[in-house]
Chain A
Amino acid sequence: MPRSAVRSRAVLAFALFVVILYAVFTGVTGTRLLLLASRTRALPETSLGITYIVGGMLGWAAVLVGGGIIDRAPEAGRLLNAVGLLCFSAGSLSLGLFCWRVFAPTSLGARGLFFALLLMLIVDWVHNILILGTPFPPTTSFWYWPGMVGRTTLILWRPAAALPYYARLRKRLALGLADPVATNRVLLWGAAGALSATSSIFVVAVTLADLWVTPARAPIAITTVVLATLDSALSWLAFVPPRRYIAWIKLRSAERGA
């Protein structure tokens, strides 16, 4: 077998392994949050669980399968693309709802931003799916921008809300006024959000530079998938942490306080 073919197979196997890791981490985290939501009926766990399951898992699965079968089964492919875009937008909006209601529930600016993005993504879905017939229009089209701007803004909201709040929690922690596990959870979730935002901006830059149709597409895809998987792993560590990890966080905090 030629060396290039062996290399291609190795890259494909690595990508597949990383995608499976992503699906496991995201699925476990989202399921854990939705199970909690079924008991508490509270908005934060419901919206975050929907973000991971609907936006993180179903959206990707529908778009990947839809794109793969569209030549052989155009109707089914288009339907899956429509479902995929709906899942992406619903998942992103669910994340925005969490950020607004948890970090700035009384802010008129946050409320206005959320409803503006909601309107933008509804218009984006209706136009692109029902009129244009494609979930992701080319970058030369005006209709590339509303969905991209809406979803990227919602993804950026997460680290923009969580990381400054973590800085405040650190000050509280030094005075014994914050819980070390919750403080670490905010850090992990915010850092994961920063990775997710980096990945989104990277994808937008690559798409605008038209690099998906060049030989660079393989390393670009791997980079994107690795960033998404790191996000999902940190989210898993935040919301479904092993008991040893929690014990370590508590011990470290106690040592620092002593």
Chain B
Amino acid sequence: MADSPVFEWACDTLERRSGLTRIQARGTMRIVVGQAGLDSKSLRVSQLHVVATRLLPKELRARGLEDVDMICEDLAQCPMSVEHREEAGVPSDPEEVFKRLGRHN
């Protein structure tokens, strides 16, 4: 299964804004997505926002990049239209299934 359009957008943006190579940018994004317990195949805009503001700055500073705050702010501004490019029929996250399976209130 391919990576989500949001993940692809984040990698492209990071590569363009940071000067990292394509492989470096994708690897960095995979590390922070994994640190957040998320999956690159189902990354959503709301999740990218949290990853870009809470985890990515530290990773980029560790790589000695400049303008880290600007880069992360750009990534946090991922438009919702990117998510809507996602194909229909993508399986639900297990969390969504478990939420439904029991009482919640």
Contact = CB atoms under 8 A, between A and B. Distances in A.
B91 interface: yes
Interface in A78-102: 101-102
A172 B37 contact: yes
Main secondary structure of the interface of B (DSSP, over half): helix
B70 interface: no
B104 interface: yes
B37 A171 contact: yes
Given A105-B91, A177-B50, A246-B103, A182 B1 contact: no
Contact of A240 (B94, B96, B100, B102): B102
A44 B95 CA distance: 12
B43 to A, nearest CB: 11
Nearest to A247: B105
Main secondary structure of the interface of A (DSSP, over half): helix
Interface residues on A, range: 35 or more
B63 interface: no
Given A103-B94, A186-B94, A45 B37 contact: no
Interface of A: 32-33, 36, 40, 42, 44-45, 48, 101-103, 105-106, 165, 167-172, 175-179, 181-183, 185-186, 189, 238-241, 243, 246
Interface of B: 1, 35-39, 46-47, 50-51, 54-55, 91, 94-105
